[in-house]
Chains A and B, each alone.
Chain A
């Protein structure tokens, strides 16, 4: 069943991604001020949304673990956080390349960029911490605490473009009262978000299965030792 869902999602997100790339390159004109480079937004924004939402979900699953002490929640939190970190990396990389053209520098230390880099570091530390602890319950507890504390920073990063006057653009999407884009230009962001969300769902499912493999290996090893 899981295999079928994965294959179905993969086909759907692959087709949608291809269609989106087609729209982005052939149907949409260059932006007036920025030229061709603005197309980076179609990956930059969805990837960062997925990263931020993923860190938030990771926090919810971590709370779920702490409440229920069920290790499945911990595996879910770990998988979601790892995949979110990949998307956060995409967001940082694409943003940096865009900034090189538009700002003339690869990086600016404004609040948005800094706080998002801090998030990236914290959740990178989260994954390192998971490797440093062997006992599954202890690992789950420690990781959950880091995830919950770290998501405070994810929220700071989310709000930073409203709280401070950052070099990073203010909200442009219509759901955050931005409305800074023409109708036809905003829609592909959402379509690409959907495609990438399906893709990340596949990654999370694969990661979850790997967690259960690792669990099984652990149990079998312990059995082998007990004999």
Chain B
């Protein structure tokens, strides 16, 4: 029952996004442009680039992700869709998980498109050995961004000063996960051992998913 509700919400969100492709287009365009801009800030052909490649990549994802995540609940405000969703028999937790899954798949798709651009622009050494671990880091890191982003999207949806409050709350919350994802990615691309990061990221994902599922009802309904 819960899973079916989640599935309904996820497919609903993905359908409505696929119809307009608003957030998706904005996010892709933004991530490609920002990767381009970063190449002027640093010399992309230098050896040093290896040291901050992970940072560049995750900064791009964090900002591009914000474009997808911000709209997640905001788009339901028009025509009072949010009130209808809350009044519907779907529980808040199912609503949250459904929306998080939809956001996750959108953000993940954006990442899969911008990753080759990144590898190309910055001459990142890329081998088959990196592929699977990188995929794991992408999944874990993106889920961390998604959970926090979706919860705060719900929290700020009816706020005046929404555009101000969302980034001031969301980015500091994401920083621990971002740091972990950045260091793992950098280590992976440099071929050194990934270390502590994966465990930290898994723990972060589990804790914040649980907290979000528990408190989303407080945020949406009260």
Q: Using a CB–CB distance below 8 Å, which chain A residues touch chain B?
A: 66, 111, 114-115, 118, 121-122, 124-125, 128-129, 132-133, 137-138, 141-142, 144-146, 148-150, 152-153, 156, 163-164
Contacts and interface: CB of A to CB of B under 8 A. Distances in A.
Instruction: Select the residue from A129, A144, A163 with max chain B CB neighbours within 10 A.
Output: A129
A128 B165 contact: yes
Nearest to B179: A114
Across the A-B interface, the 10 shortest Cβ-Cβ residue pairs: A121-B172, A125-B169, A125-B168, A132-B161, A122-B172, A145-B215, A118-B175, A118-B172, A132-B159, A141-B218
Contacts of B148: 149
Contacts of A142: 155, 219
Contacts of A149: 148, 151, 173, 208, 211, 215
Contacts of B19: none
B contacts with A: majority SS = helix
Contacts of B173: 122, 149-150, 153
10 contacts: A118-B172, A121-B172, A125-B169, A129-B165, A132-B164, A145-B151, A145-B218, A149-B208, A149-B211, A150-B173
B196 interface: yes
Contact of A148 (B155, B169, B215): B215
A146 B211 CA distance: 11
Interface of B: 148, 151, 155, 159-161, 164-165, 168-169, 172-173, 175-176, 179, 196, 207-208, 211, 215, 218-219, 222
Contact of A114 (B161, B175, B196): B175
B211 A148 contact: yes
Contact of A146 (B164, B169, B208, B222): B169
Contacts of B222: 137-138, 141
A64 to B, nearest CB: 13
Given A142-B219, A148-B215, A153 B196 contact: no
Which of A118, A138, A144, A149 gathers most chain B CB within 10 Å? A149
A175 to B, nearest CB: 25
Contact of B218 (A118, A129, A144, A163): A144
Contacts of B160: 132
B196 A122 contact: no
Contact of A145 (B155, B175, B179, B207): B155
A156 B204 CA distance: 10
A122 B215 contact: no
A133 B159 contact: yes
Contacts of B165: 125, 128-129, 132
